[in-house]
């Protein structure tokens, strides 16, 4: 098992690539929501993420989500603890600013304090996928070559819709649409959505169920051991 804190790939996006993956798999965030993810969006004690209108304190640029995209997402403690550790790491490294994914680098200090480019998020993820898929045979690589950051969101939604007996959360479509901040969603035919809307899923499924999206190597590469 690789230690992401010492692996060179961990330095992509100023060391926040594992946070990108968690925000996709654990909260279903879009690329734009990750780029504008403000530390003030986190309600630490209640373990809730608020996707809301945000203004960059440096440039005055505003990011305004559509009405149905603004939402509060209750998340499990695993994600909150990962964000706490990341906040402390950034503070100690002198990276901490308004946004959870800090933009800029020593070579490009002018971007510090501004929202990260969505392209930068996707490019770093693509590099990671190239690294973890390289040892696979050609047939397996081709199956996963089209995986993007947005695919993490779809895996999250699929997990919410999948029946509990099949390892999912078993939420009803209306609840899933609220959590995902979407006006419409057509689930895969294989997903049965009949269930209790009050179910709150444990998010310890990543290394078990990430086969829908990544092979287990990729999940472990970024997230380390299963969190239970």
Is 143 a residue whose pLDDT tops 90?
A: no
Please, what is the angle between helix 149-161 and helix 173-180, to 10°?
A: 150
- Identify whether the C-beta of residue 204 lies closer than 8 Å to the C-beta of residue 167: no
Return the higher-pLDDT residue of 163 and 203.
163
* pLDDT score recorded for residue 121: 94
Return the higher-pLDDT residue of 206 and 123.
123
The whole-number average pLDDT for the span 132-137 is 80
pLDDT by residue (tens digit) across 38-91?
Answer: 999 999 999 999 999 999 999 999 999 988 899 999 998 989 999 999 999 999
Put simply, whether the predicted model's pTM sits higher than 0.75 gets the answer yes
Q: Where are the domains of the chain?
A: 8-144+202-223
Q: How far apart are CA 140 and CA 216, in angstroms?
A: 13
Supply the Cα-derived Rg of the chain in whole angstroms.
17
Residue 177: pLDDT band by 50, 70, 90 thresholds?
confident
Q: How far apart are CA 221 and CA 206, in angstroms?
A: 12
Architecture of the domain defined by 8-144+202-223: Orthogonal Bundle (1.10)
- Identify whether the C-beta of residue 72 lies closer than 8 Å to the C-beta of residue 47: no
């Amino acid at each position: 098992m690789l230690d992401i804190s010492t692996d060179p790939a961990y330095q992509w996006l100023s060391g926040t690539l594992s946070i990108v993956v968690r925000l996709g798999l654990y909260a279903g965030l879009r690329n734009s929501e990750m780029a504008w993810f403000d530390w003030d969006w986190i309600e630490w004690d209640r373990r809730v993420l608020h996707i809301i209108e945000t203004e960059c304190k440096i440039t005055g640029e505003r990011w305004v989500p559509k009405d149905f995209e603004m939402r509060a997402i209750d998340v499990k403690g695993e994600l909150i603890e990962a964000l706490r550790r990341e906040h402390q790491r950034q503070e100690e490294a002198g990276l901490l600013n308004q946004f959870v994914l800090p933009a800029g680098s020593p070579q490009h200090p002018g971007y510090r304090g501004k929202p990260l480019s969505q392209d930068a998020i996707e490019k770093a993820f693509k590099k990671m996928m190239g690294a973890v898929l390289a040892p696979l045979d050609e047939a397996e690589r081709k199956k996963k070559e089209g995986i993007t950051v947005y695919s993490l969101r779809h895996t999250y939604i699929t997990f919410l819709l999948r029946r509990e007996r099949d390892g999912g959360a078993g939420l009803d479509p209306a609840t899933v649409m609220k959590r995902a901040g979407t006006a419409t969603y057509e689930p895969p035919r294989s997903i049965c959505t009949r269930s209790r809307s009050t179910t709150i899923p444990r998010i310890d499924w990543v290394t078990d169920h990430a086969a829908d999206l990544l092979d287990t190597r990729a999940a472990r590469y970024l997230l380390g051991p299963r969190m239970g």
